[in-house]
Structure 1
Amino acid sequence: MKKIYLSVLFIVTVSVVRAQQILICNNAKVSFFSSTVMEDIEGKSAVGGSVIDTKSGNIIFKVKNTSFQFKKKLMQEHFNENYMESEKFPSSEFKGKIKTPIDFQKDGNYKVEIEGILNIHGVNKAYKSIADLTVNKGILVAKAAFKVKIADHGIEIPTLVFKNIAEYVEVSVQASYIAKK
């Protein structure tokens, strides 16, 4: 009987530890901003999804391109039809790794290096960025910002509107993670 009890306790303990090493976020905020003399363009989404494996540091982040909202409806239409070609490339994705080791069980603020592959418009490109992580009572909040060169991802800007769209866009991400149950 004692062996059965210890076996069950071991299985439950391993299951709890394993569950705590996977963190998920289903409502990540992703935005991008492009500023030129002619016009500022900003798109925002609040439905990005992400998973972090705290043991390995692996991170996956994905957002549907059609989820971005703009102040002007015409901007949203041009973004999806002309630039992102959202029917052909429905989502953008980052697969990478948190390079700076941290204790996800310990409350605190951490600056970490993240590197990985960003896929936008069907084109993969390596990126490195610094992220701010805050661990507080089992919740992880991550914030990061980085610049993306539009041409690096095969997004063509027609010469007619070239002055309206910056060569680089500032991408910002904010996500709150909880342990997978």
Structure 2
Amino acid sequence: MNKLLLFLILFATLAKTDTNKNQFIARQGQVTFFSYTSAENIEAKNNQVLSILDIDKNEIAISMLMRAFVFKKDLMYEHFNEAYIESDMYPKANFVGTIIDFDASKTESQTRIIRGNLTIHGITKPVEIKANIENINGKYNIFGDFKINVNDFQIQIPPILASNIAKTILVNFDFKYQSYEE
């Protein structure tokens, strides 16, 4: 609950109208994940991810509803939300971090490390994510991928299914930011 409050405070701070000229928002960011399994690959996409970027402070905040992930099969959606992520108890995943050595004035692509805290399944872990950042006519795109270990977030996989689900999940992200004023 304290982490959610921290995120809301950060969100409110970034949303101030008198300083929002250097703040950007991605209202429909995209996060996908992929898990290779011997039985069947598991892939899901969430196009309803909210992110705020503050280029003065080099800070980024991301929030997404876990039930917004779309799977190819309804049964995968059901298992993901009920058995693994437990979306009723842990409805959101959040990330709050800082972009290291980011220069907002550069127009060429930058590859930077984003350090912060990722919260999934009620567990918060520090992470470092390598991201590509583009400044296109004053609008920013941030995209990349990273891996998470299922065990780090105490996601329980029944022993009978353990051999069918990867222990490491590949996560891709793509955020297209526009000025907060738009």
TM-score, scaled to structure 2: 0.87
- Tell me which stretches of 4 or more aligned residues in structure 1 moved more than 6 Å: none
Matched, 1:31 2:32: yes
Q: Distance in 2 between matches of 1:133 and 1:62?
A: 19
**CA, structure 1 residues 153+160, in 2 after alignment: closer, same or farther (shift >3 Å)?**
same
Q: Distance in 2 between matches of 1:21 and 1:102?
A: 13
Q: Secondary structure at the match of 2:113?
A: strand
Deviation for aligned residue 1:108: 2.0
How many residues are paired up? Answer: 166
Q: Distance in 2 between matches of 1:142 and 1:133?
A: 5
Matched ranges for 1:1-181 at <5 A: 18-103=19-104, 105-181=105-181
Deviation for aligned residue 1:149: 0.2
Give the root-mean-square deviation of aligned CA atoms: 1.5
Q: Secondary structure at the match of 1:19?
A: helix
**CA, structure 1 residues 16+118, in 2 after alignment: closer, same or farther (shift >3 Å)?**
closer
Q: Distance in 2 between matches of 1:48 and 1:16?
A: 22
TM-score, scaled to structure 1: 0.88
Q: Deviations over 1:80-136 (max 9, x none)?
A: 000000010001011111012212x44221111101000000000111011001111
Counterpart residue type for residue 145 of structure 1: D
Deviation for aligned residue 1:38: 2.0
Q: Which runs of 5+ in 2 are unaligned?
A: 1-15
Q: Which runs of 5+ in 1 are unaligned?
A: 1-14
Q: Distance in 2 between matches of 1:60 and 1:69?
A: 22
Q: Distance in 1 between matches of 2:34 and 2:101?
A: 28
Hey, what does 2:7 align to over in structure 1? none
Deviation for aligned residue 1:17: 8.3
